[in-house]
């Protein structure tokens, strides 16, 4: 069983539509794929309708949080997408991305970069708008060669000249809300040091005590030493460990199934979740 629990679509900053994502996941030989767009469930209906035979879709989201001044991403799986309190929190984060992106565009224009909000809006095409869309605009304008080259202190990296913070939720509150909506939480790429400061081990222990279910260990932004350290921490704190690609289509270099999650851990995630069921493609397995 090949299980990839962290992927983005055009509902946020990926480049595959939700239907293309599930088709590409099946073509890549995956048995299970999770749709985890930033701060939105908008891609669900299209993905659910397109799950191919032999693939199972896990619905989820990646929620933007902040703890002690450090940004962190909380993966949430199999929650009820209509539960009103969690829905309100997601909308709060997602909607604030628009004025924030507009402010980043203004900042860039002050730096004599001729980017426009209309251009960024076209690139985002209705998805949760974020820095990768602005980065794509900078690539189009020939300001930087690749999306990744826009994530430097010169441009859009955390604390960079054109970076503006977005609304980010309290992770303790998010864990509570996701649980109340029947979902399971996994802290995404907790050791991704190149993105900025990372959350401390004692903070992860506190999140575990507050009901966090797991941490993402096998991820492109973690080196071997970081994975070993995170695995030990997970054992001590009773956390599940996952592995995922964090696929963003052509906006990032990682490929579907680059890292995967152990089937037993996937089984445990599905057992804990009560808000939604994995969606098997017609005639496919049920998800365990």
Q: Is 243 in the site for ligand AMP (CB under 6 A)?
A: no
132 lines the binding site for ligand AMP (CB under 6 A): yes
Residue 96 touching ligand AMP (CB under 6 A): no
Say whether residue 222 binds ligand AMP (CB under 6 A).
no
Which one among 246, 256, 265, 284 touches Zn ion, defined by CB under 5 A?
246
Could you give the CA distance from residue 162 to residue 108 in angstroms, rounded to a whole number?
Answer: 6
Give 189's contacts (C-beta < 8 A, 6+ positions apart): 73, 195, 216, 219, 221, 222, 246
Q: How many CB atoms lie within 10 A of CB 200?
A: 13
CA 198 to chain centre: 16
Q: Which helix (H) or strand (E) holds 74?
A: strand 70-77
Using CB atoms within 10 A of its CB, is residue 114 exposed (0-12), middle (13-18) or buried (19+)? exposed
Query: C-beta of 62: minimal distance to ligand AMP in Å?
Result: 7
Interaction of residue 13 with Zn ion, rule CB under 5 A: no
Cα–Cα nearest to 30, from 6, 63, 10, 62: 6
Residue entry with tokens 């071997």: 224
34 binds, among Fe ion, Zn ion, ligand AMP, none (CB under 5 to 8 A by kind): none
Q: Decide whether 50 or 254 has the Cβ nearer to Fe ion.
A: 254
216 binds Zn ion (CB under 5 A): no
Binding track over 3-42 against ligand AMP, x by CB under 6 A: ----------x------------------------x----
Instruction: Report the C-alpha gap between 52 and 61 in whole angstroms.
Output: 21
Where does this chain touch ligand AMP (CB under 6 A) — which range of 40-48, 86-94, 128-136, 201-209? 128-136
Note whether 189 and 218 are within 8 A (CB).
no
Write each residue from 139 to 178 as x if it is in contact with ligand AMP (CB under 6 A), else as -, in one continuous string. --------xx--x--------------x------------
Which pair of structure tokens corresponds to residue 107? 């900042």
Does position 199 bind ligand AMP by CB under 6 A?
A: no
- Measured distance CA(253)–CA(48) in Å, rounded: 26
Q: Closer CB to Zn ion, residue 62 or residue 213?
A: 62
- Residues near ligand AMP (CB under 6 A) are 13, 38, 130-132, 147-148, 151, 166, 195, 248, 252
* Interaction site with Zn ion (CB under 5 A): 62, 246
């Amino acid at each position: 069983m090949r299980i990839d629990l962290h992927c983005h679509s055009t509902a946020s900053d990926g480049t595959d539509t939700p239907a293309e994502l599930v088709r590409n996941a099946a073509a890549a030989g995956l048995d299970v794929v999770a749709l985890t767009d930033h701060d939105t469930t908008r891609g669900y209906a299209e993905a659910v309708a397109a799950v191919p035979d032999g693939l199972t879709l896990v619905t989820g989201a990646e929620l933007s949080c902040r703890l002690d001044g450090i940004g962190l991403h909380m993966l949430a799986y199999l929650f009820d997408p209509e539960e009103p309190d969690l829905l309100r929190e997601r909308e709060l984060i997602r909607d604030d991305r628009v004025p924030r992106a507009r402010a980043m565009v203004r900042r860039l224009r002050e730096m004599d970069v001729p980017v426009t909000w209309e251009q960024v809006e076209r690139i985002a095409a209705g998805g949760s708008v974020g820095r990768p869309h602005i980065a794509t605009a900078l690539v189009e304008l020939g300001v930087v060669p690749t999306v990744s080259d826009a994530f430097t202190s010169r441009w859009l990296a955390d604390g960079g000249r054109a970076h503006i913070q977005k609304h980010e939720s309290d992770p303790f509150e998010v864990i509570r809300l996701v649980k109340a909506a029947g979902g399971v939480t996994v802290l995404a790429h907790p050791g991704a040091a190149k993105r900025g400061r990372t959350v401390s081990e004692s903070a992860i222990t506190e999140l575990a005590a507050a009901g966090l279910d797991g941490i993402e260990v096998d991820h492109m932004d973690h080196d071997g030493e970081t994975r070993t350290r995170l695995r030990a921490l997970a054992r001590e704190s009773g956390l599940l460990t996952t592995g995922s690609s964090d696929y963003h289509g052509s906006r990032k270099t990682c490929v579907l199934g680059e890292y995967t999650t152990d089937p037993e851990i996937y089984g445990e995630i599905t057992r804990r979740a009560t808000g939604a069921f994995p969606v098997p493609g017609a005639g496919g397995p049920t998800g365990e």
